[in-house]
Amino acid sequence: MPQHRFASIHVVGTNGKSSVAVMTAALLEAHGVAAGASISPHLRRWTERVRVRGEEIGDDELGAAVERVAAAATAVERGLEGGERLTQFEVATAASFVALAGAGVGAGVIEAGLGGRLDATNVIPSRVTVLTSVGIDHTRWLGDTEAEIAAEKLAVLRDQSCLVIGSVSPAVEALAEQAAGERGARLTRAGEDPGPDVELRALGGFQRRNFAVAMAAAEAFLGELDRSLVRRVAAEVEVPGRLELLPGEPPTAIDAAHNPDGAAALAAAISALAGGRPVVACLGILADKDAAGMIAALAPAVAEFICTEPPPAALAASGRPDARPWPAGELAELCAAAGAPAVAVSDLPEALARSRSRAATLGGIALVAGSHYLLAVARASLEAE
The number of residues in the chain equals 385
Is 324 in a helix, a strand, or coil?
A: coil
Per the structure, the count of domains in the chain is 2
Lowest mean pLDDT segment, chosen from 33-37, 62-66, 270-274, 377-381:
377-381
User: Do residues 200 and 166 share a domain?
Assistant: yes
User: Do residues 121 and 173 share a domain?
Assistant: yes
Q: How confident is the model at residue 323 (pLDDT cuts 50, 70, 90)?
A: confident
- Identify the CATH number of the domain in which residue 367 sits: 3.90.190.20
Average pLDDT over residues 315-326: 79
Lowest mean pLDDT segment, chosen from 157-171, 217-231, 282-296, 312-326:
312-326
Greatest C-alpha distance within the chain: 61
For residue 344, pLDDT beyond 70: yes
User: Do residues 219 and 311 share a domain?
Assistant: no
User: Do residues 232 and 249 share a domain?
Assistant: no
pTM of the model: 0.94
Lowest mean pLDDT segment, chosen from 322-326, 335-339, 340-344:
322-326
The mean pLDDT of the chain is 92
Q: Which residues of 84-117 are buried (b: 16+ CB within 10 A; e: fewer)?
A: eebeebbbbbbbbbbbbbbbebebbbbbbbbbbe
What residues make up the domain containing 73? Answer: 2-236
pLDDT at 378: 79
pLDDT at 205: 94
pLDDT at 63: 96
> How many other CB atoms are there within 10 angstroms of residue 184's CB atom?
10
**What is the spatial distance between Cα 286 and Cα 56, in angstroms, rounded to a whole number?**
27
pLDDT in tens, 95-133: 999 999 999 999 999 999 888 888 999 999 999 999 999
